[in-house]
Structure 1
Amino acid sequence: MDQNQFKKLLKLKCQLSLNQVVIAGISGGPDSLCMLHLLHNTGLHVIAAHMNHQLRKEADEEANLVMEFCKQRGISFIIERADVNAYSCQHRLSVEESARILRYQFLFKHAEINYAQAVMVAHNADDQVETVLMHLLRGAGLSGLRGMQMRSYNPQWSASIPLVRPLLFTTRTEILAYCENNGLSPSFDKSNEDTKYFRNRIRNSLLPELITYNPQIKDRLLKMSDVLNSEDDFISDSVNNAWDEALLSKKASYLMFSKGKLLSSHSAILRRILRKAFQTLDGNLRDIDYEVLKRAINFLEDNGNSNHLSLIADIEILKYQKNKIILCMHQDPLDELWPQISPVGNLEIDLSQKTILNAWWEIQAEQLAHIPQVPADPMSCILDADKIDHLSLDVFHPGDRFSPFGLAGDTKKLGDYWTNKGLPERARKRWPLVKCSDEIVWIPGFQISEYFKITAKTQRVLALKLIRLKQ
């Protein structure tokens, strides 16, 4: 590649300033050494960053190669080790995926430390072809078939520092020729021949076979990727607009959407909103297949009693109230959404003022001298105070029964009652139950007991109200 062309590409396509720092991920192979040599010759302030994965016996030699290459040219460099195998076991990920995650964490960490304008990696045109084929075989949509982008942002690593691939339209053959012409001596990763890796099987087996069908297959796939790239950008604008309209609340532990807004979106837009939501909750998610999205959409469209669905990577989707949808991680508490209390011990309710449930919820009690209209709001109730000597808060216990208002004294299993009401399982264990002795008086957000209702004989009235403290 001509140095002047490369400098022009950095400015126009990569949108970089030649006066600011960049972090360059350098493995020591032909692609990364070619990129580092080009960057250094432009006069760009580049810091070479090499992570030793400690996976192969040649790893230390490759780290030394990068170090010597940089020392000879006065290039700043950073070299660190990572225990990829330990990370793989701890997070139950493949070694390949674990290495990728640790590598990008390392690169963006040092980009932030050094106030770098970008992280640069040396993916080339052949890598792009392989990526497109990988996504095609895994059943990706348009955004997957576009492949990699020359400049992109990934919130998993950084919302403000872009990932830049300046060699994305340079072929492997051109890179090898550049290395030879400039006297560069890169290392060659023997694991690139190991067919246990999906990408290697595509590179070494599938692509040579496809070339026998169409010698121009690589060029055709690159052109397709380029076309889809611009079309995907156009669709993404519509997705972002639909996302903004449907999103009701975005918290660290959950996303809340308008069910109606989601279902009114075109199916292509809805799939992308869901994919974006999954990746917002779990930044490590990459390949979300069609079946996962189909299950989520079927759940949204189902008007039955089902109110909870477990999806990919511990992500759950919940129906909330009548017209809202919650997406959250299985392990995250949702105390701000639902009134929840500690399951340890009973909490006495102060009948003259308020009782704090948690940081988001409280119950207010008030003695009334008159009988008001029965509140329609399930967060409020009025009770026959003559039948109450004290009240306490408790949580659900297996076998609990409840006599809902209007059921003429009959009782139902509380678990069955909640199922009929559509309360998700995860909300039930710590849902507050207002009790008198061992009898359920009121389930905040639902109903009072038939036994404690106001009657013609009622002399004193107790009003209770469940209040959310923070919005």
Structure 2
Amino acid sequence: MDIDVRFERYIEDHKLFTKEDKLLVAVSGGKDSMLLLTLLAQYGVSVEAAHCNFELRGEESDGDEGLVRTYCDQLGVPLHIRRFDTISYANSHKISIQMAARELRYDWFEMLRQEVGCDYIAVAQHKNDHVETVLLNLSRGTGLLGLQGILPKRDNVLRPLLFLTAAEVLSVVESLDVPYRDDSSNFSNKYARNKIRLDIIPQFEQLNPDFVSIMEDNIVRFQDAQGVLSLLVAQKRDELFVQIGEQQWEISKEAIKAQGISLLYYVFEPYGFSRSVLDDMLRALDAESGRVFLSEAYELLVDRRILRLRRKENSDELSELSGGEARVEWGDYIFTARCSADISVDRNPDIALLDYDKLIFPLTVRSWQEGDVFQPLGMTGTKKVSDFFIQKKINLFDKKNIPIVVNGNGELLWIATYQLDDRYKITENTQKVLKLVCNIR
């Protein structure tokens, strides 16, 4: 089948783009990207080219840039070139040269895409790259998700050559007389991907010459299996998780006990919990409540009858009331303050009436901290705030979200909406009252 027909069919089958779109094409000067630029120009879609000179191979890098510039001029394609100090970037970020080059080029591609008004970024990975990615992920201990290979379309990045093998790319390039340059670093097996390409895949091809095509079929099965698994896991997650707020869920402990660790790993996978953490969580279900298990972005609380999952919040947030007439925000709460000579009692739990002359400004609104104590209204001694929360059956997650108003001398004034400190209540001797109102946004 003619290459133009196969190319067009692949684009249409995977709904990669339309002729009304504008593409930014990543062009290195190698055979893959030069072929992609050629086919896109023949296809009739509007394109601009982007070339990265990573300044890693001296005159060879400059030669690649020169070839790309000449060919883009020949095709009438606008070209953008960016030079990078790749080694300095890698050293400063403590990453490999390959990872540095990847980060630099994709960050620039996306910035340039937006700048020149392109809809997508087109890169020239082919079927062999697809297989290499799976083998590389497999060698690193990936799960099923890592066996999906390279997707034809992901976010703003397109890969229109995934239907071609490396051998087919070379054949088409030669038949169309497309100029290209080989990157000498591609022939060194000191890099993991190159080692797979140069050493490992040829060994498999000795066992079966159609290894790449067979692997492509396997990858399709992996993708199908992942799709089915994702659907079933999503249904199980919807069954187990009861959303109680933005980025907050409740989960029945009894329901969790009925699930195996393998299923739970997939259910909790979007929240970043490792298998070992989930194992520890399961062992803690029948122990004393209050334990918290953490991932990078989420926290999971084992409460009395339920688990509570939520996105981590900044519990160190502080807000200050700088005077007698003020308004501040803290978390989901808004505090307003005003002064008055009225010493009438107001039993609204959202209002604190404080003896103004005992206050030291600025007052601070913050969350509970370990060791906090106060003198509850009507008592003569102090009490730990943590004990107060336990008495009120307030769990660890909720108590971190309860605002506490603190005097300038460090003493607690008010556990907002719950309890006033007796030392700062208004009395018959009070001359001036600070009325502090707490409202939820």
Q: Considering the TM-score relative to the shorter chain, is it more than 0.5?
A: yes
Relative to 1, partners in 2 of residues 1:105 and 1:248: Cα closer, same or farther, differing over 3 Å?
farther
Q: Taking structure 1 as reference, are residues 418 and 388 closer, same or farther at Cα in structure 2, changes over 3 Å only?
A: farther
Say if 1:402 and 1:449, in contact at 8 Å, map to a contact too: no
Q: Does 1:96 align with 2:80?
A: no
Give 1:52's aligned residue: 53
Which structure's CA Rg is the greater one? 2
Query: Are 2:439 and 1:467 equivalent residues in the alignment?
Result: yes
Q: Are 2:217 and 1:223 equivalent residues in the alignment? A: yes
Name the CA shift for 1:167/1:464 in 2 (closer, same or farther; >3 Å).
Answer: same
Mapped partners of 2:378, 2:215: distance in 1 = 67
Q: Show the counterpart of 1:293.
A: 274
Instruction: Output the TM-score relative to the length of structure 1.
Output: 0.70
Q: Decide which moves more: 133-142 or 404-413.
A: 404-413
Alignment partner of 2:158 out of 164, 182, 188:
164
Matched, 1:134 2:115: no
Residue deviations 1:171-230 (CA, integer Å, cap 9, x gap): 111111222222233221222233442212322333334445555443332112112324
**Residues 18, 44 of structure 1: 8 Å contact kept:** yes
CA shift in 2, pair 1:170/1:405, >3 Å: same
Give 1:305's aligned residue.
Answer: 290
Going from structure 1 to structure 2, the CA distance change for 1:142 and 1:407 (only over 3 Å counts) comes to farther
2:151 equivalent to 1:149: yes
Matches within 5 A, 1:178-189: 178-189=172-183
- Give the alignment of 1:372-387 within 5 angstroms: 372=347, 375=349, 380=350
1:310: how far off?
5.5
Taking a change above 3 Å as real, the CA distance of residues 372 and 96 of structure 1, as seen in their structure-2 partners, is same
Question: Once the 2 structures are TM-superposed, how far is the Cα of residue 307 of structure 1 from its aligned partner?
Answer: 3.9
- For residues 125 and 234 of structure 2, the distance between their equivalents in structure 1, rounded to whole angstroms, comes to 28
1:362 paired with 2:334, answer yes
Query: Where in structure 2 are the equivalents of 1:338-357 lying within 5 Å?
Result: 340-341=318-319, 347=321, 350=324, 355-357=327-329
The AA in structure 2 aligned to 1:7 is: E
Question: In 2, are the aligned partners of 1:50 and 1:80 still within 8 Å (CA)?
Answer: yes
Question: 1: distance between equivalents of 2:34 and 2:198?
Answer: 23
Deviations 1:433-462 (A, max 9, x none): 33386532323376544767899xxxx999
The equivalent residue for 1:42 is 43
Cα separation, 2, equivalents of 1:247 and 1:188:
54
Pair 1:178–1:139, CA change in 2 (3 A): same
Rounded to whole Å, the distance in 1 between the matches of 2:81 and 2:254 is 50
| Preserved CA contact (<8 Å) 1:263 1:300 | no
Q: Do the aligned residues in 2 keep the contact of 1:34 with 1:179 (CA within 8 Å)?
A: yes
Q: Distance in 1 between matches of 2:65 and 2:390?
A: 59
Task: Map 1:448-459; keep pairs closer than 5 Å.
Answer: 448-449=420-421
Distance 2:81 2:435 in 1: 67
Note if 1:198 corresponds to 2:192.
Answer: yes
The answer as to whether partners of 1:299 and 1:309 remain within 8 angstroms in 2 is no
Match of 1:402 among 361, 367, 373: 373
Say if 1:61 and 1:228 are closer, same or farther in 2 by CA, change over 3 A: same
Distance 1:211 1:390, change over 3 A: same
Inter-CA distance 52–224: structure 2 relative to 1 (3 Å threshold)? same
Gaps of 5+ in 1: 154-161, 251-255, 279-291
Change (3 A) 1:371 1:79: closer
* Secondary structure class of the residue paired with 1:259: strand
Worse overlay, 433-442 or 358-367: 358-367
How much has 1:273 moved relative to structure 2?
Answer: 6.9
**Which residue type is aligned with residue 328 of structure 2?**
I
Give TM-score scaled by structure 2 length. Answer: 0.74
Preserved CA contact (<8 Å) 2:290 2:301? no
Change (3 A) 1:48 1:268: farther
> 1:288 maps to which residue?
none
Q: Is the 8 A contact 2:404 2:414 kept in 1?
A: no
Seen in structure 2, the aligned counterparts of structure 1 residues 300 and 327 have a Cα distance that, compared at 3 Å, is farther
CA offset at residue 268 of structure 1? 7.3
What secondary structure does 1:260 align onto? strand
Question: C-alpha root-mean-square deviation of aligned residues, in Å?
Answer: 4.7
Contact 1:23 1:116 in 2 (8 A): yes
